[in-house]
Structure 1
């Protein structure tokens, strides 16, 4: 993971103007190299729910945090909390399907209306 982070940083630096480098340096310093572990998935989902979102699996290959379902002002207000949760747990892309499996296991699944889907086709 460190190698990938270093490669991304080098690519970004190569395309920057000299006056942008201090800004990028601050951004890199603020970025953690943490990655979420499989053991942290339940706690992560619990915190997202506690923040006011409704995370759900959509089928077997997608999941949603559930903030878009909130009224616009609540959705906007919750973003700093979600950002903080994301920073503490770190990158979770590598756990995409494990998160989906966890959401299924606790009954957080979006039910797709198959009758409506068939009538559209």
Structure 2
């Protein structure tokens, strides 16, 4: 997969039923369907994932794009406990 394919990848994952979202700025998830009872969605998501190929090298770019379009789960910051 190339950087130019990120938007198409995300759009195709959403069309397949994926609830693709960035997890803060550390990662993203693609496997969980919007409707967990949609067993066929798991197959569609897997097909899209394999069709676009390796994307590990684009992790940060995919996360940034997901932030741009508002598909992000923010990670709450831990309050400072004073412990070392």
Normalization by structure 2: what TM-score?
0.78
Superposed counterparts of 1:31-110, under 5 Å? 36-65=1-30, 67=32, 70-71=35-36, 73-74=37-38, 76-110=39-73
Give structure 1 stretches of 5+ with no counterpart.
1-35
- Largest Rg, 1 or 2: 1
Q: Which runs of 5+ in 2 are unaligned?
A: 80-84
- Structure 1 runs (4+) greater than 4 angstroms displaced: none
Question: What secondary structure is seen at the aligned counterpart in 1 of 2:70?
Answer: coil
Q: How far does residue 52 in structure 1 lie from its aligned partner after superposition?
A: 1.4
For the residues of structure 2 that align with 1:80 and 1:66, how far apart are their CA atoms? 10
Q: Aligned-pair distance for 1:68?
A: 5.8
RMSD: 1.9
**Residue 64 of structure 1: CA displacement?**
1.0
CA contact (8 A) 1:56 1:103 kept: yes
How many residue pairs get aligned? The number is 79
2:12, 2:48 within 8 Å by CA — same for their partners in 1? yes
Partner of 1:19: none
Q: Is the 8 A contact 2:31 2:46 kept in 1?
A: no
Measure the CA separation in 2 of the matches of 1:83 and 1:95: 18
Say if 1:51 and 1:81, in contact at 8 Å, map to a contact too.
yes
